[in-house]
A = this chain, B = another copy of it.
Amino acid sequence: MNFNHQALTELPQRYRANFINSLSGIRQAVLVGTKSANGQTNLAIFNSLMHIGANPPLYGLLFRPDTVRRDTLSNILDSGTYTLNFVRSVDYPRAHQTSAKYEQDVSEFQAAGFTEEYHDGFAAPFVCDAVVQIGMKFEQRIDIALNGTILIIGSIHYVRLPDQMISEEGLVDLSMGDVLACSGLYQYYKVSEIGRLPYARP
């Protein structure tokens, strides 16, 4: 099937949103944990985590326009800290449930059945049984004028993962932890490593 720009523009809104989002590829599912100024915890699923750089260690997360209530974004901007949690593929129904629009005074940790955990004086809550836990500090907000989305860049201040998932060279094998991946808003995947290749030379 082929689509040109005109055809994409004329697609029904819901179909286009599904199509463009799921077409953009399979990505790591990430549960983002935050806490509001009055102590309310929040947990929400994202698949927009990106590697910005290793030195200093920086990751980015893309947020939809803040024209409606965005608890995760508000909490990151207010508190300056947030956590990134990778869960196992079997946890996809619970992970998906964190995308529901709960009232502001409901914690998605409880609503979806995850347990809070705290480390190293970090204010933001980690997911207790996550395979990988990463603690982040907010660094920069970049507003994308083209469509009102917001790129949040943070630095890594805490990492916990199983020893056996890290190779001698520092490579992390996430498939060993059976981590959950997803595409778009509704589709969940598991991953398996097929190969590891050396630095490519001409």
Chain A positions within 8 Å of B, measured between CB atoms, are 1-5, 8-9, 11, 13-28, 30, 48-60, 62, 86, 89, 92-93, 96-103, 106, 111, 119-120, 132, 134, 139-140, 142, 144-147, 149, 151, 153, 155-163, 166-167, 169-175, 179, 181, 183-202
Q: Which residues of B contact A171 (CB under 8 A)?
A: 18-19, 22, 184, 186-187
Q: Roughly how many angstroms separate A202 CA and B194 CA in the complex, as a whole number?
A: 38
Taking a contact as CB atoms under 8 Å apart, the answer to whether A158 and B2 are in contact is yes
Q: Which residues of B contact A175 (CB under 8 A)?
A: 26, 189
The dominant DSSP class at the A interface is mixed
Taking a contact as CB atoms under 8 Å apart, the answer to whether A158 and B196 are in contact is no
Taking a contact as CB atoms under 8 Å apart, the answer to whether A100 and B191 are in contact is no
Specify how many copies of this chain sit in the oligomer: 2
Q: Roughly how many angstroms separate A187 CA and B173 CA in the complex, as a whole number?
A: 8
A165 to chain B, nearest CB (A): 8
Taking a contact as CB atoms under 8 Å apart, the answer to whether B120 and A172 are in contact is no
Q: Which residues of B contact A62 (CB under 8 A)?
A: 50-52, 60
Taking a contact as CB atoms under 8 Å apart, the answer to whether B174 and A183 are in contact is yes
A63 to chain B, nearest CB (A): 11
Taking a contact as CB atoms under 8 Å apart, the answer to whether B194 and A89 are in contact is yes
Taking a contact as CB atoms under 8 Å apart, the answer to whether B169 and A26 are in contact is no
